[in-house]
Amino acid sequence: MVGGAKNSALKLMAAALLATGRSEISQVPKITDILIMAEVLRRLGCDVTFTDGVISVDAPDKPGTEADYDLVRRLRASICVLGPLLARCGYVRVAHPGGDAIGSRGLDMHIAGLTRMGADIASEHGFVIASAPSGLHGATIWLDFPSVGATENLLMAAVLADGVTEIDNAAREPEIVDICQMLVGMGAHISGAGTSKLQIEGVPELHPVAHQTVGDRIVAGTWAFAAAMTRGSVTVRGVNPTFLEIALDKVISAGGEVMTEPNAFRVTMDRRPRAVDVSTLPYPGFATDLLPMAVGLASVSEGTSLITENIFDGRFMFINEMARLGADIRTDGHHAAVRGRDRLSSAPVRATDIRAGAGLVMAGLCADGVTEVSNVHHIDRGYPNFIDDLQGLGVAVERLVAPEEPSFDF
């Protein structure tokens, strides 16, 4: 059973800043990133509780306007407080974000869009400082790339802006639709959710709401590829399979059988997978977050696969770790040629980001011997109950306390 999407829940929590009072967001995964975001909101003056998968955010009449570096550096998604705080307060000071080391992800589109809406924005001493003392106004905004983060920030700013805002070439992810649904529930006027053009008619104020987070398609896709890699059979519930149409099609092309239901799917692979080529693209294309799993599948497939990353320039940072497991991979820029082997070989490896960590664990299932994955705090940021889920599927896995690094005297 897949829970709520991390990439949605974090932004829904930020959206709660747009209305005074208590909003409740259900089906929230208990992961490290959610706990960090909760602390970001507390420092902005919100009362935040998290019980049985429900986040309650009680936003004050006058939220704080500064998001500190010590938290923002740990969670890139915390930059999404920029739009709602600017819309509510007319001023915000947010540290430049951190997060996964998967390449450059600038704020240019966020800043350009907010500037068109009347904000004055500067960057000083590691902070983005934005002000709009007279309030934001509607504008027509064209995004050079369908950035999820920029779409979310501009969307949340536009719902309280004066007039109509159009965001063209907007991101179309299910998580964008989810935040639009929550905002409409709060009283926002939004049309075009799920398309490349969003139209937002600003309203004077919003009200709190209760909202359920959409299912996590990336976690679901991880289990789909795990079943295909291990020649197993896994049923995944809690996510709309149409959100993974291309990913599941790749599993079928590799020789797997996929059975779908309205809110579930089953993947069965009874043979060695065939090689398939994969290129990541914005939704509805193949998700960049599933690239490590695609590389893992290619590593144990018959033939050679060409994997192309078109979103993040640092997504291949984990390739050296895959090679330690015996994967035959050659990279050239944003392309990786992967020649499959029947089995991989165990080795100690290190997770470099959330999805790479999960991908290395899945690759370890296809390796002879015992594979040790370190830096698993990355996995904790995206996969709730990961060990329990693996054990429930019959995997011999345990979590150990990492040994301390040796010290040397000179």
Pick the catalytic residue from 33, 100, 380, 389.
100
Compute φ and ψ for 189, nearest 5 degrees: -110, 105
**Kind and range of the H or E run holding 362:** helix 354-364
50 φ, ψ to 5°? -140, 105
Up-side HSE of residue 63: CA atoms within 13 Å toward CB? 33
55 marked among binding-site residues: no
Contact 58, 27 (CB under 8 A): no
The structure tokens listed for 51 are 């019980």
Half-sphere exposure of 272 (CA within 13 A, CB side): 12
**Does 179 show up as a binding residue in the annotation?**
no
- Does 385 appear as a known binding residue? no
6 is an annotated ligand-binding site residue? yes
Give the Å distances, CA to CA, from 79 to 96, 313, 333.
8, 20, 29
250 annotated as a binding-site residue: no
Element (H, E) at 124: strand 120-124
Residues in CB range of 302: below 8 A, 6 or more apart:
272, 273, 274, 275, 340
Query: Is 33 noted as a catalytic residue in this protein?
Result: no
37: helix, coil or strand?
helix
- Nearest alpha carbon to residue 88 among 21, 165, 36, 37: 21
SS (H, E, C) 194-211: CCCEEEEECCCCCCCCEE
DSSP letters for 234-287: EEEESS-GGGGHHHHHHHHHTT-EEEEETTEEEEE--SPPBP--EEB-STTSB-
Binding residues for phosphoenolpyruvate, by number, are 6-7
Kindly list the catalytic residues: 100
Binding residues for UDP-N-acetyl-alpha-D-glucosamine, by number, are 76, 289, 311
Binding residues, by number, are 6-7, 76, 289, 311
